Structure 1
Amino acid sequence: MSETMKGLKRTKYCGQFTAEDIGKEVTVAGWVQKTRDLGNLVFIDLRDRSGIVQLAFDDGTDREVFEKAAGARAEFVLMAKGEVRRRESVNKEIPTGEVEVYVSDLRVLAKSQTPPFEITDQTNVKEELRLKYRYLDLRRGEMQQSIILRHKIAKVARDYFDENGFLEIETPVLIKSTPEGARDYLVPSRVHPGSFYALPQSPQLYKQLLMLSGYDRYMQIARCFRDEDLRADRQPEFTQIDLEMSFVEEEDVMSVNEGFIVRVFKEVLGVDVSAPFLRMPYEEAMNRFGSDKPDTRFGLELTDLSDLLENCEFKVFKGALETGSVRAINVKGAAHQLSRKEIDKLTDFVKTYRAKGLAFTRITEEAESSSYEKFLSQEEKEAIRQRMDAQVGDVILVVADPSNQVVYDSLGALRVELAGRLGLIKKGTYNFLWVTQFPLFEYSEEEERFVAKHHPFTCPALEDLDRIESDPAGCHARAYDMVLNGCEVGGGSIRINTPDLQERMFRALGLDEATANERFGFLLEAFKYGAPPHGGMAYGLDRLVMLMLEKDSIRDVIAFPKVQNASELMSQCPAQVDEKSLKDLSIKIDIQE
């Protein structure tokens, strides 16, 4: 039977002991990391969220205490009282390595079965097993440091925005479904049979209404929900650091948020970030990097070859140039690393981004090889090499497609893939920039209409106000995304603040007056009562933590994440509910095969 604390009170966390504590009587508590039984000596590494301290037992220890120590196993929960003394053999690998606690009283507060995997930082255990036993995985120091750092970022956010005049205001979690973007998670109402709430994809409309209500500067660490396919940096439920400001333009919002980033990196990581950040127009980002969230830690920039090939007879390039483009990257000095076999693998890689193939020129001291130069004139060949600054040791990789988007997507992903394979990315580098001047709309082939690039409440660029309906493809948005190392860490815009402009925006998106009023009538009505110019943005808190810690997956910084199919392996949700619960909600299940 497990013992109780019996009045013992912890005096210090395990990882906080130093040589200054020698001679003090202390009480510690935690989990057994490891027991070493040497016969007449027993040592226990006791672990809590702060680290590890060694407990020591010998011939002078009370016999009952000694036997309990010898019987302790991994993950037993112990409380120990004793004197801090200097260790005979110092362990320089841990902060407490100079000292140990010579134990006089030991309590076994809870025993543990042998865990399904060892609780250590460096683990090769499959992620599925870690997530099934997430409460054990969260005991690992690496996981605990991620969760603690997440807490620190949230605290800095509250402090910083409070100091800058922001008010933390909660917005509802049960809201009206206003589908325009990702799918909503729906919650049935028992009181209103057949009606549903939605879980918020963001607090967008409510924070805009708070500006209309005169609160001027709002912030919230908000839970958000989106029923969409998962990726390494995306979850169905997530946390935003959400902001809105009145009487501002783009630079006002960007400036206050640069201040936040500088503060959070300094206080949490001890890293100095320089502001102001680079501003890069959307079109430049796409042309140079093939992405609206460019990773600028390395080169491998895209080069447009289209004008050099206007009269080209090579049908692959000629066909692409009718509606698209031919672009390339030069992988400098990589000819010996990128063999023909490796280039074939890269060809398969770009095909996942809808590219039909990958043309190449590979130049070594011994020979030159190319999949396309034999189809070009000597002038075209020389012009391409000159523009690409091609030299011995280089590999030119080319994508041609009738769709510019396919060219951008495939080459943009390829440059990142190559940077990883070739070790071009230096760890501990944090490159921030703002991407601005986004298109206001993008055409959805699936829906056969224009949809909002950001969201339908984004204000058009002032010079485009007259052509929202007549030329939606040519309109730009007063939107801005903060990008860090090739990931969008936050984004926002200046908002529409008049009912007539908002109605025009809805019409451009194909929403008739009746539909717009049904979904957003409360917003249009509110705008009739004087809404100030306003704008804001939101950070993905989980994504920010992931990037600051240079993790590969957002699941590594969330306590209880979902997996690829939006389920949680530990609790086995989502799950079916009983008939009575469904009946109370007036719901009948009809699953389509």
Structure 2
Amino acid sequence: MHAYRSHTCAELTAVNVGQTVRLSGWVHRIRDHGGVLFIDLRDHYGVTQVLCDPDSPVFSEVEKVRSEWCIRIDGEVKARDESLVNPKITTGEIEVFIRDMEVLGAAKELPLIVFGDQEYPEETRLRYRYLDLRREVMQQNMTLRSDVVASMRKRMWDKGFREYQTPIITASSPEGARDFLVPSRLHPGKFYALPQAPQQFKQLLMVSGFDKYFQIAPCFRDEDPRADRSPTDFYQLDMEMSFVTQQDVFDTIAPVIGGVFEEFGGGRKVDAPAEWPQITYADAALKYGTDKPDLRNPIEMQVVSEHFRGSGFAIFAKLLEQEGTEIRAIPAPKGGSRKFCDRMNAFAQKEGLPGMGYIFWRRTELPSEAKNNPEHPLFQAREQELVAEYGSGYKRYSVEGMPSQEDGSHMEAAGPLAKNIGPERTEAIRQQLGLGVGDAAFFLGGKPKSFEAVAGRARTVIGDELGLTDTERFAFAWIVDFPMYEADEETGAVDFSHNPFSMPQGGLDALSGDPLEVLGYQYDLACNGYEIISGAIRNHKPEIMFKAFDLAGYGEDEVRKRFGGMVNAFQYGAPPHGGCAAGVDRIVMLLADEDNLRDVMLFPMNQRAEDLMMGAPSEPGSDQLMELSLRVIPQE
């Protein structure tokens, strides 16, 4: 028999009853039932129940084991009583009576419990990651990750791509984030960098004539951490193709990503790649407040400035007198209650705004004779309700401007905005937004960049709280037509807004006008509110590259200094090419239904970019610094 096991802890079934077997694993849970010890023995594959009573020759030894001890047992497979069969596990029909046991690794008192669903601080989980990873959900997440990567590889090979490995030590390159620098021992005072992405190398592969490249590539960026971003390193499915248009890239990668989500999505709906909409960056910002919209939420924001221009709501009316301002509405179907509107107002205040204007529409049940008769008791009762809601200054109730319902009742608009702008404007807003009784709308105003992000978050909260978001679906959208440049709000200086290596739409001619109007062949793929792919058709012509960088303040000498290898290569017959990169960690996070990347990465850093388990970053020894010709200046 094998030294450690004849079977895994997921293999034994009723077919094995009567056999002598050997199992190895961890003590998952111990139960003492009147002198009979039951142990759930766990390995990577599953759990087997083993038991021991005083008749066993090793009973006294088994009594000593504790949770997470690593043990080997020999024993006899027995069938469980029919009433004790556990259908939740593959080995639920049997149990193993222990005849012999060896402790392979005893465990100290545990800093976190592997069995169960207890929550522990992230610091504890990361410091003792090897224990955290033993938990069932983490085993499942990491297995899922491995399977997703294998599926991606197979799908790319099936599409005629080959995998090539690009360097991990390279030159520093400004690609939107900070580099991790590596000092050179052989060249004192000079530094390598860990690649933010294989960007330049994969483009050089196209110049080298390889036509189709992919790689599951590690990328290194010194970034501020957040839930969906690692502060140090991450992996991406990186790909590049020659002689392609933007649509060719979409048609190639979409079935790969869509297929992965279908394979591992747990039955959730995945739209066919041909149905994934292509939304311009400008429209995404307008309708969703973000360039990574969650299309499971059907809410689309609209511009309603004309309804407030010159209105009785002075805040918006005066705001619209300023250049570049507008008012946007966020429809909220089924959100038509004072309570919900107050909650959203509080949300806006938490986001740093004074509040959010709103209107909600409700049915009034007063009969027509009561509506038109101030002396009618029902009219007076309704008036008291409105005075209590709006204050003593409320004007007498009227049905003017209220659309009639089929049952003869009327619909009224409520909320401070409705009172200030009047029934005609309120009704025009309702019709534009397609709302009715029981619905609401929220309003934000100013220069779009000042409130778009908050509006986008408000749209998400509204969709979630009102149950409008389809949580059993993966919804994808290509975001296209990104602006090539952006201007600093304080200095007005122009710089690249995204990837500087993208081909401008219109080529060299497009760069002769206003840089802020230039669009690039850049694109992202959004899924459920996350960016999971970013890519571009590349700028492969040196004259266009020099002009593009010149508009951002980089002269030709600077471009040659920073990107000399690529610029030189493009002078020797570079093909048109493009590609993209898909975030492996983020995709697995979505498939695992997790909210944090650290739950789908084996050994992640914490929020402060520290490895608590290995003690990184650490101080180098003086001999190491001398070898590298470096000196550390103490921070005050």
Structure-1-length-normalised TM-score: 0.93
Cα deviation code 1:476-515 (max 9, x no counterpart):
1112211111111111111111111111111122101121
Amino acid at match of 1:327: R
Structure 2 residue corresponding to 1:392, chosen from 426, 437, 450: 437
Q: Which whole-Å CA distance do the structure 2 matches of 1:446 and 1:131 have between them? A: 41
Q: 1:377 to 1:270 in 2, by over 3 A?
A: closer
Q: Does the 8 Å contact 1:469/1:508 carry over to 2?
A: no
Cα deviation code 1:34-83 (max 9, x no counterpart):
1122344211101112221101223442x2x2222222110000112223
Residue in 1 that maps onto 2:21: 26
Q: Does the 8 Å contact 2:264/2:591 carry over to 1?
A: no
Q: Does the 8 Å contact 2:483/2:519 carry over to 1?
A: yes
Q: 1:556 to 1:518 in 2, by over 3 A?
A: same
Q: Which runs of 4+ in 1 moved over 6 A?
A: none
Residue in 1 that maps onto 2:227: 232
Q: Does the 8 Å contact 2:478/2:526 carry over to 1?
A: yes
Tell whether 2:580 aligns with 1:585: no
Q: Which whole-Å CA distance do the structure 2 matches of 1:266 and 1:388 have between them? A: 34
* Aligned counterparts, 1:422-571, within 5 A: 422-445=466-489, 448-462=492-506, 465-571=508-614
Residue in 1 that maps onto 2:359: 361
Q: Which stretch of the first structure deviates more once superposed, 236-245 or 333-342?
A: 333-342
Alpha-carbon RMSD: 2.2
Q: Does the 8 Å contact 2:298/2:469 carry over to 1?
A: no
Q: 1:270 to 1:77 in 2, by over 3 A?
A: same
Residue in 2 that maps onto 1:344: 345
Q: Which stretch of the first structure deviates more once superposed, 411-420 or 202-211?
A: 411-420
Query: Could you tell me how far 1:346 is from its partner in structure 2?
Result: 1.5
Q: Which whole-Å CA distance do the structure 2 matches of 1:230 and 1:50 have between them? A: 33
Amino acid at match of 1:239: Y
- Secondary structure at the counterpart of residue 205 of structure 2: helix
Q: Does the 8 Å contact 1:246/1:535 carry over to 2?
A: yes
Q: 1:11 to 1:448 in 2, by over 3 A?
A: farther
- Secondary structure at the counterpart of residue 179 of structure 2: coil
Residue in 2 that maps onto 1:69: 62
Amino acid at match of 1:213: S
Amino acid at match of 1:85: K
Amino acid at match of 1:123: Q
Q: Which whole-Å CA distance do the structure 1 matches of 2:193 and 2:18 have between them? A: 60
Amino acid at match of 2:570: F
Residue in 2 that maps onto 1:312: 311
Q: 1:338 to 1:424 in 2, by over 3 A?
A: farther
Query: Could you tell me how far 1:315 is from its partner in structure 2?
Result: 3.7
Tell whether 2:253 aligns with 1:254: no
Residue in 1 that maps onto 2:237: 241
Tell whether 2:76 aligns with 1:83: yes
Q: Does the 8 Å contact 2:334/2:466 carry over to 1?
A: no
- Secondary structure at the counterpart of residue 372 of structure 1: helix
Amino acid at match of 1:86: A
Query: Could you tell me how far 1:154 is from its partner in structure 2?
Result: 0.9
Amino acid at match of 2:415: S
Q: Which whole-Å CA distance do the structure 1 matches of 2:597 and 2:488 have between them? A: 28
Q: 1:530 to 1:24 in 2, by over 3 A?
A: farther
Query: Could you tell me how far 1:337 is from its partner in structure 2?
Result: 7.7
Report percent identity of matched pairs.
Answer: 38
Q: Which stretch of the first structure deviates more once superposed, 256-265 or 214-223?
A: 256-265
Q: Does the 8 Å contact 1:436/1:480 carry over to 2?
A: yes
Amino acid at match of 1:359: G
Query: Could you tell me how far 1:537 is from its partner in structure 2?
Result: 0.5
Residue in 1 that maps onto 2:451: 407
Q: Which whole-Å CA distance do the structure 2 matches of 1:338 and 1:429 have between them? A: 29
Q: Does the 8 Å contact 2:335/2:439 carry over to 1?
A: yes
Residue ranges of structure 1 left out of the alignment (5+ in a row):
1-5
Tell whether 2:292 aligns with 1:293: yes
Query: Could you tell me how far 1:12 is from its partner in structure 2?
Result: 2.5
Q: Does the 8 Å contact 1:461/1:477 carry over to 2?
A: yes
Q: Which stretch of the first structure deviates more once superposed, 140-149 or 26-35?
A: 26-35
Query: Could you tell me how far 1:257 is from its partner in structure 2?
Result: 1.0
Q: Which whole-Å CA distance do the structure 2 matches of 1:447 and 1:555 have between them? A: 38
Query: Could you tell me how far 1:230 is from its partner in structure 2?
Result: 1.0
Cα deviation code 1:152-183 (max 9, x no counterpart):
11111111111222121111111111224211
Structure 2 residue corresponding to 1:220, chosen from 209, 215, 222: 215
Cα deviation code 1:323-350 (max 9, x no counterpart):
1210011212223484464233212244
* Aligned counterparts, 1:62-211, within 5 A: 63=57, 65-88=58-81, 89-211=84-206
Q: Does the 8 Å contact 2:336/2:361 carry over to 1?
A: yes
Q: Does the 8 Å contact 1:325/1:407 carry over to 2?
A: no
- Secondary structure at the counterpart of residue 10 of structure 2: helix
Higher RCO (C-alpha 8 Å, min separation 6):
2
Q: Does the 8 Å contact 1:441/1:452 carry over to 2?
A: yes
- Secondary structure at the counterpart of residue 63 of structure 2: helix
Q: Which stretch of the first structure deviates more once superposed, 274-283 or 338-347?
A: 338-347
Cα deviation code 1:161-218 (max 9, x no counterpart):
1122212111111111122421111111111111111111100000000000011111
Cα deviation code 1:536-561 (max 9, x no counterpart):
11011100000111111111000111
Q: 1:339 to 1:217 in 2, by over 3 A?
A: closer
Q: Which whole-Å CA distance do the structure 1 matches of 2:141 and 2:75 have between them? A: 31
- Secondary structure at the counterpart of residue 16 of structure 1: coil
Query: Could you tell me how far 1:290 is from its partner in structure 2?
Result: 1.5
Amino acid at match of 1:192: H
Q: Does the 8 Å contact 1:51/1:141 carry over to 2?
A: no
Q: Which whole-Å CA distance do the structure 2 matches of 1:246 and 1:180 have between them? A: 22
Q: Which whole-Å CA distance do the structure 2 matches of 1:125 and 1:447 have between them? A: 46
Q: Which stretch of the first structure deviates more once superposed, 331-340 or 502-511?
A: 331-340
Q: Does the 8 Å contact 1:350/1:411 carry over to 2?
A: no
- Secondary structure at the counterpart of residue 15 of structure 1: coil
Amino acid at match of 2:335: A
Residue in 2 that maps onto 1:3: none
Q: Which whole-Å CA distance do the structure 1 matches of 2:201 and 2:217 have between them? A: 12
- Secondary structure at the counterpart of residue 179 of structure 1: coil
Q: Which whole-Å CA distance do the structure 2 matches of 1:208 and 1:342 have between them? A: 50
Q: Which whole-Å CA distance do the structure 2 matches of 1:268 and 1:216 have between them? A: 30
Query: Could you tell me how far 1:466 is from its partner in structure 2?
Result: 1.2
Residue in 1 that maps onto 2:278: 279
Matched pairs, number: 581
Q: 1:372 to 1:337 in 2, by over 3 A?
A: closer
Q: Which whole-Å CA distance do the structure 2 matches of 1:591 and 1:320 have between them? A: 50
- Secondary structure at the counterpart of residue 71 of structure 1: coil
Q: Which whole-Å CA distance do the structure 2 matches of 1:517 and 1:313 have between them? A: 59
Q: Does the 8 Å contact 1:327/1:407 carry over to 2?
A: no
Q: Which whole-Å CA distance do the structure 1 matches of 2:296 and 2:262 have between them? A: 20
Residue in 2 that maps onto 1:381: 426
Q: Which whole-Å CA distance do the structure 2 matches of 1:16 and 1:74 have between them? A: 22
Q: Which stretch of the first structure deviates more once superposed, 378-387 or 229-238?
A: 378-387
Q: 1:31 to 1:362 in 2, by over 3 A?
A: same
Q: Which whole-Å CA distance do the structure 1 matches of 2:628 and 2:513 have between them? A: 46
Q: Does the 8 Å contact 1:362/1:370 carry over to 2?
A: yes
Q: Does the 8 Å contact 2:78/2:94 carry over to 1?
A: yes
